[in-house]
């Protein structure tokens, strides 16, 4: 996926290069390259969806962002408060992942 700022992921970039090559040359080899790259992206996306890995990655980001937000909002938090929040966020992450299975 792109990063929201217009920058392509490596997979998107590879697909765009393969597409450009096929459009530029329109030969069988470039068509097969585009087909292979697109097939790889589809297979990876399907795996991510079926395995729930995309959701796990999202939950991981939410866990980290929750910790970051707590630290920003509580810059003078004690180590025990930080540990309590960290434990809370990790348990929430674990519960969400467990609910997938």
Count how many domains the chain has: 2
The verdict on 81 and 47 lying in the same domain is: no
Same domain, 40 and 77: no
Q: How do the residues of the chain divide into helix, strand and coil, expressed in percent and rounded to 5?
A: 80, 0, 20
Q: Among residues 51, 66, 91, which one ends one of the domains?
A: 51
What integer pLDDT is reported at residue 56 of this predicted model? Answer: 93
pLDDT of residue 12: 86
Q: Domain check: are 58 and 91 in the same one? A: yes
pLDDT at 7: 83
Gap between the Cα atoms of 25 and 39, Å rounded: 20
Q: State whether 98 and 59 are in the same domain.
A: yes
Percent of the chain past pLDDT 70, that is, above it, reads 95
Q: How far apart are CA 94 and CA 51, in angstroms?
A: 16
12 and 47, same domain (yes or no) = yes
What residues make up the domain containing 15?
A: 1-51
Query: pTM of the full predicted structure?
Result: 0.61
How remote is the C-alpha of 40 from its chain's centroid? 16
Same domain, 82 and 45: no
The span from the CA of 70 to the CA of 89, in Å, is: 10
């Amino acid at each position: 996926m792109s990063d929201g700022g217009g920058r392509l992921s490596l997979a998107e970039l590879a697909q765009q290069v393969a597409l450009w090559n096929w459009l530029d040359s329109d030969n069988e080899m470039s068509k097969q390259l585009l087909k292979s790259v697109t097939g790889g992206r589809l297979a990876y996306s399907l795996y991510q969806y079926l395995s729930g890995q995309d959701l796990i990655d999202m939950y991981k980001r939410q866990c980290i962002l929750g910790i970051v937000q707590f630290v920003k909002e509580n810059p003078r938090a004690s180590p025990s408060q930080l540990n309590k929040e960290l434990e809370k966020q990790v348990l929430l992450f674990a519960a969400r992942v467990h609910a997938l299975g």
